[in-house]
């Protein structure tokens, strides 16, 4: 079945460490997105990419980095510069064009030790 | 700019009774609107979308939503709640500042009691 796979499901980070969250899709979508979800809040956009080797900052990009070397993959690195990284991270993808719904993975929950 | 307001943070319903989740939006242009559902520790699943073809939109699992431009509303309804409907629901509007970007409401937590 086509879909989006995020791994790991749970991730723990020590202070000062960078961690990378994986996102892979086999839907043949050109666009991919990373969101952060905090309790009681909607989703906030971190980064997005419309094409391989190109990506743009979203609303809360500080302390995060991404790469898009392959169409299927869009990993997110949470750097030590992100002061409050504990959250639920969701990856999504969509076709290009207006009105296209986004399809979501099952998320990675990141916690600080 | 665009925004989404979900008028209820929590809704509690009895199994078999109707469900109403309220959403108001603001947008400079004719928006695309979506409702998503999220079960605990899961990603979001698309329930339905409005893209100007018809004001009453039918979605999965018996849900439907009505677009009312005069009221800038996009309320989600279901005639009869099921226990499996217990989840968080998000109203979402397409953003006008950049293609493909979405603006999410804060969510409505639905509790279904037997």
Does residue A84 contact residue A58 with C-beta atoms inside 8 Å?
no
- Closest residue in A to B43 (Cα) is A106
Q: B60 in contact with A at a CB cutoff of 8 Å?
A: no
Tell which wins on pLDDT, A99 or B42: B42
Q: How far is A14 from chain B (nearest CA, A)?
A: 22
SS3 percent helix, strand, coil of chain A, rounded to 5, is: 0, 50, 50
Average pLDDT by consecutive 10-residue portion of chain A (113 residues)? 90 91 96 93 93 95 97 96 92 88 95 87
Chain A interface includes B108 (CB < 8 A): no
Peptide bond just before A8 cis, omega within 30 deg:
yes
Taking alpha carbons only, the member of B10, B18, B16 closest to residue B82 is B16
A-proximal residues of B, 14-53, CB under 8 Å: 32, 34, 36, 41-46, 49, 51
Mean pLDDT throughout B19-37? 91
């Amino acid at each position: 079945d086509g879909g989006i796979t995020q791994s790991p499901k749970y991730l723990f980070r020590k202070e000062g460490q960078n961690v990378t969250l994986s996102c892979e899709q086999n839907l043949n979508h050109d666009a991919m997105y990373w969101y952060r979800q905090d309790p009681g809040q909607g989703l906030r956009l971190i980064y997005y990419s419309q094409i391989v080797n190109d990506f743009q900052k979203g609303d809360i990009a500080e302390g995060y980095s991404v790469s898009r070397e392959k169409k299927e993959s869009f990993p997110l690195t949470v750097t030590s510069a992100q002061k409050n990284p504990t959250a639920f991270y969701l990856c999504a993808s969509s076709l290009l064009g207006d009105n296209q719904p986004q399809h979501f993975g099952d998320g990675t929950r990141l916690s600080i030790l | 700019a665009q925004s989404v307001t979900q008028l209820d943070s929590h809704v509690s319903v009895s199994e078999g009774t109707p469900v109403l989740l309220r959403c108001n939006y603001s947008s400079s242009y004719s928006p695309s609107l979506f409702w998503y559902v999220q079960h605990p520790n899961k990603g979001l699943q698309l329930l339905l979308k409005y893209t100007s073809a018809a004001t009453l939109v039918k979605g999965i699992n018996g849900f439907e939503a009505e677009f009312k431009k005069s009221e800038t509303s996009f309320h989600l309804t279901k005639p009869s709640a099921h226990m499996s409907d217990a989840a968080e629901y998000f109203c979402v509007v397409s953003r006008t500042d950049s293609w493909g970007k979405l603006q999410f409401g804060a969510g409505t937590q639905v509790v279904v009691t037997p």
